[in-house]
Structure 1
């Protein structure tokens, strides 16, 4: 292991690194004398080196493209000051947030001038890690180190005391997505502005022609705006981005809320309770599957397995609730990587407000199941309370929109590329009929045609046999099932519409994970 690697292991925390373990040196920009004999040269002259000034670096971290005709080329640049690909340029003169950029091969040969610092990495940073370091260097934390009255300058002594962010692929991917979104939305805004400003530019078409051109050319822009506006509606996100069983149940809640007719409150009340149980059931079963994969066990998980393996009745709302309450304290969870989905699932019921909402729904669900509630005559206050509790929990489960439910239908090994060609469906949103995709998978483990959870890093976690997918024997809809029990008989029950029938898959899969007792 390299010296840099050893230093990184000694970092004070998992998400922070000492400055010296990331950058081996900090160089000040070239303070050449513009009046000296070292004059400008042409970009085509032998040994010509471009000067990069603070003004050449944008707030977005982009280094302006080279201008061969500019007076920004010198031939007598000291060799030790010449930039290398991967160097990070940081403004030493700060006004607001600092500027920072990474040097690319296309920017070379070059030298940083005066108001820039050159941070040279101990070893090349990955693109993801460099993105995080740049974001940190542009932050107010670094900007606050600048001192001075007329001009504020960064002090190297204070800069070198900083701890820098460690490599975090999930955070880096989120920053990339934000950057892409910013550029895309900015492009759309600019396009809309150009169209609006050009309405009377072309005199040859006349007012009617201009009108038609703006209406036709602006149609896509208007549709983009309408689609983006829907994302401000949380219900739209749930219907389109949550895992299929939850999204479908939520759509049923919204449909009942707006249906109109006799017994509306009762039907909506039932839809709310069913949606709540599906949300909790899906989350709990995913939790158990992920815990099993990670070799983690806890009391509620064992109780759930024993109930299915040897009990008379199957799991219910209370079992789902206990799984989600206990996973956060289970031994081994804290040792998982920060981006592991179990951390998000453990946070779902982690505070008093969520616990109260879940308990309220649990009581209502039990009352409904045991006939203690006259559903057709449920009060408006009780319905509002149930709806508010569901909404709180489903909003807390927004992370599920990032954890994609995948149905792998076929896996073919490509011996030439040494990878799997995987055929799959993304079961996200409120419709079971979704396009089939093919991807190339090069992960460490072979995969099978079962359900998987894809995490934010696109790692695949098996959900079977805790959750399975097949065409429902009763309604023929593609459905997500879990193992259930009724009077000792083994069943499979749909999370999305509630149909159940005798278990049809291989029971050996259940025995392998403790959901079926050993023996015949």
Structure 2
């Protein structure tokens, strides 16, 4: 290994500072007595960027011809380049850090700024992570001094910078965009309220103007407030089978006071719990198959379907798949952003295990009539409902893993990409508009069901989960392979309708390929 390669080798905790930045230079300590001041349009004019020109959001303010300074005597070695990072050496609270862009040039940083020049151009996502880190309390805590606290260049060299992580960078970008949108809405509402009486109008006209103009702002506020309600998130953002089952739970609860209401809600809760585990276990099995990973529980599930011994899969089978996948050989080698890790964490918690076991016992007792039916005690209902809520809360990652039913794929030879038509099966309704997207992944896309991860990678779910119109009720539904009395069935996650697989050799061949036949 060469010395250059050794220099690039990251440490276990992150990237050594000197492996990312080739130089760290102090800003220009120019002398005002030297005649170099000029105007922004003069030949060889270079803008001076001060600490005050950098916002807390990491944006360098646009040039201001009236208030900014330009000079012609800036040293060439200190001229900024696109891709440089400016970091405040004088720190008050969190440090300021900003990325220099082409639009900011020509410019030179002044005095209380460090110029960090990367060894090579970093990706946008990596820049975002490094900037967020440099603006953190971790870096700010290094500053020393009295009234003015300063960072020192030697301290920077000892820092461990974050490694490239596209998923984390995308999440930070989404947070920043969300904060900006909320800030714009708040500013709009404030401006409207402050300008209400800035015109010669009667009080009635002002009231009508505020009500009509402010309607959209109020509706935005109401919509945002709903996102604090876990039930709203489940109904609108979770995968369709789970969202629909939860809507049924809420519908039964709203029927409180009707005869046998508690028993119906109790049954809806147990079905919702089984659908949550079933969906999660089937997606886990599909992801594991794609990654070439398996475990004892997955093998047992496949064996049940392939041989028909012991009937089809149930609550316990789903539970065991989710409990065992986290320790399966090969899972630790998957990238940290791979969705299989999140499914492995779903039941990796004492409280989740207790809730799952309790719901499984209740479900089995209900199925085998080992209960005090038809009445269900309020305490038993509450226990079941609380357990389901806890599991749904732990499964919030499902809101980010989109369920896509691909209906058409067209290959573009010129663009070397596919135009994919799909339905996004998220939320409690299956009648959704068809959307399109460009996809240029390494694998060709089929007209099947996919899971879209946070990086918009597509993971095939078929034939473990398929999407089609139910032969019994004609509703678009998700089906999985089941077995009863030796007969291969497909059973719906949403409503439990089932019927034998159509004698389609292609579909049966897909089942055979993955070990389900």
1-structure distance, mates of 2:68, 2:263 = 78
Counterpart of 1:363 (choices 340, 361, 364) is: 361
2-structure distance, mates of 1:136, 1:267 = 52
Per-residue deviation, 1:2: 11
Per-residue deviation, 1:65: 0.4
Per-residue deviation, 1:185: 0.5
Q: Answer whether contact 1:4 1:21 (CA < 8 A) is retained.
A: no
2-structure distance, mates of 1:11, 1:297 = 31
Note closer, same or farther for the CA distance 1:241–1:141 as it changes in structure 2 (3 Å cut).
same
Per-residue deviation, 1:413: 1.0
Match of 2:83, SS?
A: coil
Instruction: State TM-score, norm by structure 2.
Output: 0.97
What's the CA shift string for 1:397-433, capped at 9, x where partnerless? 0000000000001111111211111110000000000
- Note the aligned Cα RMSD (angstroms): 1.3
What's the CA shift string for 1:45-68, capped at 9, x where partnerless? 111100000000000001010123
What's the CA shift string for 1:288-338, capped at 9, x where partnerless? 000000001111110110011002410000000000000000011011001
Per-residue deviation, 1:158: 1.4
What's the CA shift string for 1:33-86, capped at 9, x where partnerless? 12x223310111111100000000000001010123335100011100000000
What's the CA shift string for 1:125-167, capped at 9, x where partnerless? 1111101000000000000100011211002111110100011
What's the CA shift string for 1:92-124, capped at 9, x where partnerless? 000100000000000000000000000000101
Alignment partner, residue 61 of structure 1: 58
Counterpart of 1:326 (choices 315, 324, 327) is: 324
Q: Answer whether contact 1:50 1:74 (CA < 8 A) is retained.
A: yes
Match of 2:182, SS?
A: helix
In the TM superposition, 1:150-169 aligns within 5 A as 150-169=147-166
Q: Answer whether contact 2:47 2:68 (CA < 8 A) is retained.
A: no
Unpaired segments ≥5 residues, structure 2: none
Match of 1:423, SS?
A: strand
Corresponding residue pairs, total: 512
Alignment partner, residue 493 of structure 1: 491
Alignment partner, residue 431 of structure 2: 433
2-structure distance, mates of 1:67, 1:351 = 56
Counterpart of 2:73 (choices 68, 73, 76) is: 76
2-structure distance, mates of 1:380, 1:432 = 33
Alignment partner, residue 133 of structure 1: 130
Note closer, same or farther for the CA distance 1:269–1:373 as it changes in structure 2 (3 Å cut).
same
2-structure distance, mates of 1:431, 1:167 = 38
Worse-matched range after superposition: 461-470 or 41-50: 41-50
Note closer, same or farther for the CA distance 1:47–1:58 as it changes in structure 2 (3 Å cut).
same
Worse-matched range after superposition: 207-216 or 245-254: 207-216
Match of 1:508, SS?
A: helix
Note closer, same or farther for the CA distance 1:375–1:236 as it changes in structure 2 (3 Å cut).
farther
Note closer, same or farther for the CA distance 1:497–1:325 as it changes in structure 2 (3 Å cut).
same
Counterpart of 1:50 (choices 47, 51, 54) is: 47
Q: Answer whether contact 2:237 2:426 (CA < 8 A) is retained.
A: yes
In the TM superposition, 1:324-473 aligns within 5 A as 324-473=322-471
Match of 2:37, SS?
A: coil
1-structure distance, mates of 2:279, 2:85 = 45
Counterpart of 1:212 (choices 208, 211, 221) is: 208
Alignment partner, residue 256 of structure 1: 252
Counterpart of 1:190 (choices 187, 191, 212) is: 187
Q: Answer whether contact 1:267 1:376 (CA < 8 A) is retained.
A: no
Please state if 1:149 is matched with 2:150: no
Q: Answer whether contact 1:4 1:122 (CA < 8 A) is retained.
A: no
Alignment partner, residue 237 of structure 1: 233
What's the CA shift string for 1:419-470, capped at 9, x where partnerless? 1111100000000001101111100000100100000000000000000000
Match of 2:491, SS?
A: strand
